[in-house]
Amino acid sequence: MQQTKSKIFLRGMRDGIPIALGYFVVAFSLGIHAKQAGLNWFQGYVMSFVTHASAGEKAGLISIGAGNTLWLLALFMLVANARYLLMSTALSQKIRPELSVWQRMVIGFCVTDELFGVSVAYPGYLDPAYLYGAALSAIPSWALGTALGIVAGELLPALAVTALSAAIYGMFLAVIIPPCRADKRLILVVAASLLISWLTDIIPAFAALSARVSGYESYRVIVLTVVISAAAAILMPHDEEVAQ
């Protein structure tokens, strides 16, 4: 029996709760960086609510702390968040063609690494109500964590903040493991991604680029994503039919 929109929305909120918990502790440490850049709790909350991207926000905070111009700040944010263009392109294959422009815009606003993960794992076409529910759980928690980190983050020892930040990796594993169990091809793609990313981190030529080129890490993520996903699409094509 087909679920109602309200049930799908509540299911999204439920699936967004673990993401919200992970976001809160990671954003708490981000709040410390925001405080060092001179932001107050309200500014930090608004920043995280409208951006909700850890790498992008950190790049922005570095730019703000360095006193860069707004144009340079915008460039930093574009480079650091460019991977979301790829995620949105992939997610466009999961939504129905008749979806309105404003709904597509809201979906684009809600895209984060983890929300993208649960969205692509949604069976069949993605129901916008599901993503809205997950985002309603996760995004305010990210913004609240940033605000509280600004207010109280400096009261915690640096080691405790670092330990809390590791929670995001466990949460991301919880997002990708279930789809990998359902489709063994994904295991190969994930394993290849980890191996290639590790190699580009230890090979001297790439390490030297990381030290010299501003924003290299963001560029590396984008290039590896395009290359690995293209190779996977060619070597292990997915069924064209989307399960209803």
DSSP 194-208: HHHHHHHHHSHHHHH
Residue 143 has pLDDT above 90, yes or no: yes
Looking at per-residue pLDDT, the higher value among 1 and 161 belongs to 161
CB 116 within 8 A of CB 145: no
End-to-end CA, the chain: 12
Whole-number Å distance between alpha carbons of 90 and 101: 17
Element (H, E) at 15: helix 5-36
| Residue extents of the structural domains in the chain | 5-177, 183-244
How many CB atoms lie under 10 A from the CB of residue 39?
Answer: 21
Provide, rounded to the nearest whole percent, the portion of the chain with pLDDT above 70.
Answer: 81
Helices 70-80 and 216-235 pack at an angle, to 10 degrees, of 30
Integer Cα distance of 216 and 222 in angstroms: 10
Average confidence score pLDDT of the chain:
80
Give the torsion through C-alpha atoms of 235, 238, 240, 244, to 10 deg: 180
pLDDT surpassing 50 at residue 135? yes
Residue of 151 and 211 predicted with greater confidence: 151
- Predicted confidence at residue 244, as pLDDT, reads 42
Show the tokens assigned to 117: 């993960």
Q: What is the mean pLDDT of residues 70-91?
A: 81
**Mean pLDDT calculated for residue range 59-87:** 78
DSSP-derived letter for residue 4 is P
Q: Which residues contact 173 (CB under 8 A, 6 or more apart)?
A: none
Condensed to tens digits (0 to 9), the pLDDT of residues 180-224 reads 777 778 888 888 888 988 888 788 777 666 655 555 565 676 677
